[in-house]
Amino acid sequence: MKIKLAYKEFGFVILLLISFACSSDDNDTSEDDEVTTDELIAESYFNATSLVSYEKVDCTMENGSSGECYKLVFTSNPVENGPYCPETINDVGGLGIYDGTTNPGFQVMKADLFNAMEADGYDIIDDNGNIYTDDFASGPVNQDFSYCLEAAPNNNLLLTFLIPTNPVFASSNNTISTVELIGVSVDGVPINGDPPSVANPGNEVAGNIPSLDPCGGHHDPAGYYHWHFVAETMNQVLEANDITDVSCTLVNQVEDTKLIGFAKDGFPIYAYAIEPSDLDECGGRTAITTDFSEGVYHYVASNTDAPNVPKCLKGVAANSNFSFQ
C-alpha cells in the first residue's frame, strides 16, 4: 500500500510518498500500487514560437484505460543544429555511437571513427578521402558502400504529441528501446532513446552510422529534428567521456536546475548542474523544484552517460502518443 503524508516546512508543502511493497524487488509495483498525480503541464512551460496548439482531448492509455491527454502540436526544427558528417577524413564533424568491433563507443565524427569502420569491413571512405554521406533526399545510394547519415531537414512538418494530463505510475517500468520516443522538450523537439545500431544486421541502417550534432540531436529521415541526448548537460557528458574536439554551443548548459521537457508518461524531465545521488533505476526522483513547489516525481538527465536520457519510464503513456504530417 502507499501512505501519503503532508507537512509544512518553511512555507512549502512537502509531499512524502512512502511505499511498502510485498515483493522483495524494489523495482516492481503491483496494479494496486498505481498512483495518480495532479495535472503537471501548463502551456506557459513551452516555447510559444514553436507551439501551434495546446488542448485537452480524450485518449486511450497503453494499459487500456481511458483518460484525458494534452494534445500538443509544434512546428518542426525549432532549434539551431549541426554540424553532422565531416566532408573528408581530415575534417571533424559531430558525434557518433559506434558498436562495431574496432574502437567502439561514443566518439567524434573524425578519422579515428571512420578508419575503425573501414577496419571492420564498412566501406565508408572513397579513394579521395571523402566520407560517403546519405541525406535521404538525394536519391538512391550505392548499396556496396556504407554511409554517414545526415538527413535533410523538412521545416514544414507539424509534430503532435499526446501527453496524459494526470500521470499514473504503471505496474512495471517501460524500458526504452532503440529510437523509442521518450518525450518532448519545451521547444517541441522529440526526445528519443538510443540511435540505431551500426553493426546489428537486423537494423535497417546496418553498416551506416547516424551522425549527431555536438548537442546530441539530428534529423529523422522524415526531416524533423529530435534529440538522443538532453542537450543542457551535454558538455558535462562530453567531458566525462574524454571528448574535447567538439562542444555543445547551440544550447545553453544548465547552471542549476532546469525543466527541459516532459516524458510521454506526463512526468517532467529536468537537467541538473550537479546530478542528484538519490535517482532510481529510471533516473528519477521525487523532490521540490522551482516549477513544482509541492514536489513532483521527475526524470533527471545524466551528466555522464551517453546517451544521457532516461533508460526507462515509470508511468503509463497514451496510445499513438506521437505523429507528424
User: What type of residue is 254?
Assistant: V
Which pLDDT tens digit goes with each residue over 58-69? Answer: 999 999 999 999
The pLDDT value recorded for residue 242 is 98
Is the pLDDT at 8 greater than 80? The verdict is no
The pLDDT value recorded for residue 292 is 96
Q: Which domain holds residue 191?
A: 1-325
Return the CA Rg of the chain: 21
Q: What is the mean pLDDT of the chain?
A: 89
Which pLDDT tens digit goes with each residue over 10-20? Answer: 333 333 333 33
In sequence order, the β-bridge partners of residue 20 are none
Which pLDDT tens digit goes with each residue over 263-292? Answer: 999 999 999 999 999 999 999 999 999 999
Sign (positive/negative) of CA torsion 226, 230, 231, 234? negative
Share of the chain above pLDDT 70, in %: 87
Answer whether 77's CB lies under 8 Å from 224's CB: yes
Binned at pLDDT 50, 70 and 90, residue 246 comes out as very high
Measure the CA–CA gap between 66 and 60, rounded to whole angstroms.
Answer: 5
Which pLDDT tens digit goes with each residue over 189-221? Answer: 999 999 999 997 766 567 999 999 999 999 999
CA dihedral 19, 24, 30, 36 (to 10 degrees): 20
Binned at pLDDT 50, 70 and 90, residue 5 comes out as very low
The number of distinct structural domains making up the chain is 1
Measure the CA–CA gap between 286 and 296, rounded to whole angstroms.
Answer: 5
Evaluate if pTM is beyond 0.85: yes
